Structure 1
Amino acid sequence: MNITPYLTPYKYGRPVLTGSGKPGSFDSSAVDCPFVFRHLDRFFMMYVGFDGVGYQTALATSGDLLNWEPYGVILERNGSGNWDSKNVAGTWMMRDNELSGPATLKKWDGKYWLVYHSYPEDGYEEGAARIGIAWSEDERLLEWHRLPEPILTPETGADWERGGLYKECLVEHDGTFYLFYNAKNQNTPGWVEQTGVATSNDLANWTRHAGNPVLRVDEIGWKRGFVSDPCVLRNGGEWVMFFFGYDYRKAEEGVAVSADLLRWEAHPDPIVPVGAAGELDETYAHKPSVVMHDGVLYHFYCAVRPSREDDPASSNNGREFRTIAVAASRDLSRERSASSGASTNEEGPE
């Protein structure tokens, strides 16, 4: 397995997007789950904000992939009492499949499509999440319409996914839609998360793959607890899945390859490891979103370290700083020295 095209050894070393820390804001405590793409000659990042009550989803924009500005909240809690009224965590919009492609969105039936998950209770990921889908005809990407019912639920799944369904990745290939997702086997501490796939011809009716989970945990090692948050793209004749592994202490990014989107082989070692003590990703380097621009591969991820007094936001009862970071296939120090930093006043560790 040649993983050289997928390596991004140069970490930017500071956040590209942080929680606002503003009381009442959707992202007052943290930001999470980046999904980066290109639209209307700009880069966009869809991301999740947490305010201590639940998840909501927003967009930010950038001209250079390093400096990001908030654009607008697109999926809000709505108090409707529906299955997705308390949490709305958007994770993927259907886009160009190619790793080296433009990373632009693509339409089906004249619409853009977005997949998300929702937890049933207030709080941090409380209860067994379900997966939903939304569509938009708004070129500003601000107005989205959610289908009234979830498209996948844990109750209809196998034992490995009965605890809840999470981070989604939607791929269209040769007229078939592939929905990758990770799920956990139980809702009590010590659960196991693995990755499966379902297919559809119409985005509404889905069939789980009989061979699920397609990416499984190991008995020992850095991915013995989770193999989660799939980011699936195509590179020439092979498909590549970026994901993270978790051993109940730290989370690190990995990579797997496939010829047919159903049978996957994971590389044995992490490709984006956690950082040293005090660095931005000391605890977790996880939840990938990967794009290429001007020949440079950018690997966005959620970085977590213990919180500090001067952090703009903190979550987990004030114990952690959870933010969006990036690593690249080229050293970005020159860009960093010329840039003004993140979209807040957080500088982060160098």
Structure 2
Amino acid sequence: MKHQQRCPGLTILFLLIFSFVRAQNNNIQVPEEVMQKVYNEVKTPYKYGLVMVPPDDGKKLDCPTIFKKGKSWYMTYIVYDGRGYETWLAKSSNLLRWKTLGKILSFADTPGWDANQKAGYNALQDMHWGGNYQLQQYDNKYWMSYLGGNTTGYEAGRLSIGMAWTDKDPAVAHEWQRTGSPVLKSTDADARWYDNGTLFKSSVIWDASKKTGHPFVMYYNARGDSANPGKAAERISMAVSDNMVDWKRYGTSPVIDHHAGISGDAIIQKIDDCYVMFYFGAFWKERKKYAAFNRFACSYDLVNWTDWTGEDLVKPSEPYDETYAHKSFVIKYKGIVYHFYCAVNSKEQRGIAVATSADKGKSNITFSK
């Protein structure tokens, strides 16, 4: 009987290819034990309470972004007053007591694509967990992406994403410059099925390793096509850039999609070799007890995300957040995790609250009666 000749070279090549593919596949899905480790690291069971509230009932606060400069902490946040969104700046020495400094993106008195909506979110922040949380400069400028529109009202009209910048101190309240036109629109020629309705909040990181082939990565939530566009799901998607001004969509699918309600407002932190996306969910079909709540997902490559399926990080539980507890910004400082979020009560009063990993007492700040 004649024996077949073996080809050890091909066998070794096959094994190498198989090992490479298996390693790549393993890197796409974050293991359950890692997800649990992340949850244990970031959970904040102690609600301190409200840290910022509107000066009067005609305004609502939303979307905190926290950064550090020198020995002080700073918060950019947005204010809705009936006309639309403006972006403001506040300062703190301890992350719990905040003082308003002034506006940084204001309404325009002249017509323009963003005349009545300017909701800004700091970009290019150091994203290492427990790091310095400073804003990084590119091209000798500090950057901010923002939601813009010219229709008055709450998230009214067709909203787009713009870029703003300053070469001045970001810790001082002053008007930031804007690039003049949107960098992403739902009417762009390359708009996808999931973002051809309207765009919402964005968050931009600096990925020096260029995992996507580009240094700057934007995560944004958008509403897309549907049999009933007004009720289409809101999903988290990606865009990339080489210069912070010219952006293009990345991929052909959302990175987070619950097929109903809202998945939005992604903020990225890096814990060890794992990227953690803090985001909020709202009005999901499978979740009926709470309207809005904060979650997270993890990734090794910034593209493929494993969704956490356990307990919410923050959910309604107090009179000041009994309607919505959502829109995260999470940091770790001196061993304590601070989870800032937007709190909405039954009167639709909207302010900024914080939950912590250690008991920091209770805030004495309340909404106006």
Correspondences of 1:1-350 after superposition (within 5 Å): 1-2=35-36, 3-12=39-48, 14-21=49-56, 28-139=58-169, 140=172, 142-156=174-188, 157-174=191-208, 176-185=215-224, 188-218=229-259, 224-247=260-283, 250-276=291-317, 279-307=319-347, 320-333=348-361, 336=362, 341-342=364-365, 346=366
Query: What is the distance in 1 between the residues matched to 2:292 and 2:146?
Result: 22
Q: How many residues align?
A: 317
**Structure 2 Cα separation of the partners of residues 165 and 190 of structure 1:** 14
- CA shift in 2, pair 1:347/1:49, >3 Å: closer
Which string of whole-angstrom CA distances, capped at 9 and with x for unpartnered residues, describes residues 239-291 of structure 1? 00000011266010000000011110110134234333x52211111111111
Which SS does the other structure have where 2:302 is aligned?
coil
**By how many angstroms is 1:188 displaced?**
4.9
Distance 1:275 1:158 in 2: 33
SS at match of 1:306: coil
Structure 2 letter corresponding to 1:58: W
Matches of 2:52 and 2:197 in 1, distance apart?
30
For residues 292 and 196 of structure 2, what CA distance do their matches in structure 1 show?
22
Q: Distance in 1 between matches of 2:159 and 2:66?
A: 23
How far off its partner does 1:293 sit?
1.1
Alpha-carbon separation, structure 1, partners of 2:50 and 2:74: 16
- Residues in 2 aligned to 1:348 and 1:72: alpha-carbon distance in whole angstroms: 21
Name the SS of the counterpart of 1:77 in structure 2. Answer: coil
What is the one-letter code of the residue matched to 2:90? A
2 CA distance for matches of 1:212 and 1:59? Answer: 34
Please, which runs of 5 or more residues in structure 2 have no aligned partner? 1-34, 285-289
Task: State the AA in 2 paired with 1:148.
Answer: G
Q: By how many angstroms is 1:79 displaced? A: 2.1
Cα displacement string for residues 302-333 of structure 1 (whole angstroms, at most 9, x for unaligned residues)? 011112xxxxxxxxxxxx11110111111111
Q: Which of structure 1's runs of 4+ aligned residues deviate more than 3 A?
A: 186-189
Q: Which blocks of at least 5 consecutive residues in structure 1 are unaligned?
A: 23-27, 219-223, 308-319
When you count helix as a share of all residues, which structure comes out higher? 2
Counterpart residue type for residue 298 of structure 1: Y
Please list the CA deviations of residues 204-260 of structure 1 after superposition, one character each: whole Å capped at 9, or x if unmatched.
111211143011115xxxxx4211110111111010000001126601000000001
Who is 2:17 aligned against? Answer: none
- Secondary structure of the structure 2 residue equivalent to 1:4: helix
Relative to the length of structure 1, the TM-score reads 0.86
Report which of the two structures shows the higher radius of gyration computed on alpha carbons: 2
Classify 1:269/1:279 alpha carbon distance in 2 versus 1 (closer, same or farther; 3 Å): farther
- Which letter does structure 2 place at the counterpart of 1:240? V
Match of 1:221 in 2: none
Task: Indicate the RMSD between aligned Cα atoms, in angstroms.
Answer: 1.9
Q: Would you say the 8 A contact 2:56–2:368 is kept in 1?
A: no
Give 3-state SS (helix, strand or coil) of 2:345's partner.
strand
Indicate the SS of the match to 1:5: helix
Rounded to whole Å, the distance in 2 between the matches of 1:327 and 1:33 is 15
User: With CA pairs under 8 Å and 6+ residues apart, which has the higher RCO, 1 or 2?
Assistant: 1
Q: 1:135 to 1:273 in 2, by over 3 A?
A: closer
- Give TM-score scaled by structure 2 length: 0.82
